[in-house]
């Protein structure tokens, strides 16, 4: 019987969401008959988890995350806790888990794992570089620029941003996820733009400023090289932020999305192209905006999408007639 280690928790702002995703996946794999180790690498070689930890309904604070050190990941991966596993399933969301760092450690230690390589994860996590590759592959993506922390936010610069992004802008950490640190600015107000940049810089040294695309929110899950039914995301109010993602009842999900067949096929094709140009494998989720003219715009590729009870990939899998256990079995076999 294979022993499968499921990594969860970690030291990123998405620590709590990772516990929820990882626990769901671990339970599904366990039900398939595998031995499962639930592992939090934030605690190094002592990272074995015996019971589900209490999870607040908010992201962890800087003080909470400061208790953990990245070096613990090395201690964890090189310990028997991980090296004795036949396969690792990485459910660490965000920095140090989804950005290629954990994948690099696993590759260096010759530990087989499910999902994309370290290089693919690094490219996908760096939204600006990913968008360069999307453009090269002919995948449309909203216009963007990046601003590094410490950039002087002069009236002239703020005016240039307002002029360039007349219909509004989305400001977010260039490397981040779960909509942590993201703002949508449609007012054109200089104070709002500056506040959005300062918020993004709390979570990454580089802020991505991207053209806001009014329209519909779509996402495409890709599993073992095939697309699952497209999902439309309709938050009850505001935009699809952290609360709307992880609080049941705050968002409606239409799966399969009600789309013209031609648009549906086009979006699925673009999703595969985005997945492939980054060199991804295993499971990914590709996010889009569909504008008022019916044109899709690729936002990003998530190499470790959420697997919680409110997450999008399990919903798409269910629409395809696949349980979470069957989805996990497919990924294990594809490895």
State whether 89 and 177 are in the same domain. Answer: no
State whether 94 and 51 are in the same domain. Answer: yes
pLDDT digits (tens, 9 = 90+) for 213-226: 999 999 999 998 89
Establish if 119 belongs to a structural domain: no
Is the Cβ–Cβ distance between 204 and 237 less than 8 Å? no
What is the domain range of residue 289?
125-140+214-334
State whether 171 and 257 are in the same domain. Answer: no
pLDDT at 244: 45
Q: What's 257's domain CATH number?
A: 3.30.470.20
pLDDT at 65: 87
Query: DSSP readout, 265-318?
Result: HHHHHHHHHHHHHTT--SEEEEEEEEETTS-EEEEEEESS---STT-HHHHHHH
pLDDT digits (tens, 9 = 90+) for 116-132: 999 999 999 999 999 99
State whether 60 and 185 are in the same domain. Answer: no
Establish if 10 belongs to a structural domain: yes
Question: How many domains does the chain fold into?
Answer: 3
Is the Cβ–Cβ distance between 327 and 314 less than 8 Å? yes
Establish if 13 belongs to a structural domain: yes
Among 197, 184, 313, CA closest to 255: 313
State whether 9 and 85 are in the same domain. Answer: yes
pLDDT averaged per 10 residues in sequence order, the chain, 335 residues: 93 91 96 97 96 83 88 97 97 92 97 96 96 97 96 94 93 81 91 95 94 96 94 75 52 92 97 97 95 96 88 93 92 83
Q: What's 98's domain CATH number?
A: 3.40.50.20
Place of tokens 């963007």: 144
Among 164, 182, 211, residue at a domain's last position? 211
Is the Cβ–Cβ distance between 218 and 231 less than 8 Å? yes
Please identify every residue annotated as catalytic.
14, 178, 246, 285, 287, 300, 302, 306
CA torsion angle for 210, 246, 254, 179 (degrees, to 10)? Answer: 0
Among 184, 186, 183, 182, CA closest to 167: 186
pLDDT at 262: 96
State whether 191 and 218 are in the same domain. Answer: no
State whether 153 and 76 are in the same domain. Answer: no
DSSP SS3 for 172: strand
State whether 169 and 233 are in the same domain. Answer: no
State whether 129 and 72 are in the same domain. Answer: no
State whether 108 and 131 are in the same domain. Answer: no
**Integer Cα distance of 42 and 318 in angstroms:** 32
**Integer Cα distance of 217 and 228 in angstroms:** 16
Q: How far is C-alpha 220 from the geometric centre of its chain's CA atoms?
A: 13
Establish if 120 belongs to a structural domain: no
**Residue 148, exposed/middle/buried by CB under 10 A (0-12, 13-18, 19+)?**
exposed
Cα angle: 230, vertex 294, 247; to 5 degrees: 45
Establish if 314 belongs to a structural domain: yes
Establish if 323 belongs to a structural domain: yes
State whether 150 and 236 are in the same domain. Answer: no
Bridge partners of 114?
89
Q: State pTM to two decimals.
A: 0.89
CA dihedral sign of residues 200, 272, 309, 125: negative
**Integer Cα distance of 176 and 124 in angstroms:** 10
pLDDT at 178: 56
């Amino acid at each position: 019987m294979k022993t499968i280690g499921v990594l969860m928790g970690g030291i990123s702002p998405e620590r709590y969401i990772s516990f929820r995703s990882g626990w769901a996946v671990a339970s599904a794999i366990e039900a398939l008959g595998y031995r499962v180790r639930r592992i939090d690498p934030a605690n190094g070689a002592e990272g074995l988890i015996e019971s589900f930890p209490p999870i607040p309904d908010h992201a962890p604070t800087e003080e909470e995350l400061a208790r953990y050190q990245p070096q613990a990941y090395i201690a964890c991966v090189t310990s028997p806790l991980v090296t004795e596993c036949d396969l690792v399933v990485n459910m660490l969301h965000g920095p140090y888990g989804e950005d290629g760092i954990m994948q690099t450690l696993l590759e260096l230690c010759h530990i087989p794992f499910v999902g994309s390589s370290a290089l693919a994860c690094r490219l996908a996590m760096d939204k600006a570089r990913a968008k360069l590759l999307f453009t090269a592959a002919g995948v449309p993506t909203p216009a963007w620029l990046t601003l590094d922390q410490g950039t002087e936010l002069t009236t002239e610069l703020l005016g240039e941003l307002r002029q360039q992004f007349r219909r509004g802008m989305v400001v977010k950490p260039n490397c981040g996820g779960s909509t942590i640190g993201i703002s949508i600015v449609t007012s054109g107000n200089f104070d709002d733009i500056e506040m959005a940049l300062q918020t993004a810089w709390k979570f990454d040294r580089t802020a991505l400023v991207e053209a806001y695309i009014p329209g519909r929110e779509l996402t495409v899950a890709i599993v073992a090289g095939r697309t699952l039914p497209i999902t439309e995301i309709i938050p009850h109010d505001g935009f699809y932020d952290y609360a709307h993602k992880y609080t049941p009842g705050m968002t409606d999900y239409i799966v399969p999305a009600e789309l013209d067949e031609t648009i549906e096929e086009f979006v699925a094709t673009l999703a595969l192209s985005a997945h492939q140009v980054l060199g991804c494998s295993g499971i990914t989720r590709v996010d889009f905006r569909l504008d008022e003219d019916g044109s899709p715009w690729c936002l990003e590729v998530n190499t470790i999408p959420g697997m919680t009870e409110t997450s999008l990939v399990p919903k798409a899998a269910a629409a395809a007639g696949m349980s979470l256990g069957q989805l996990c079995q497919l990924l294990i076999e594809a490895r």
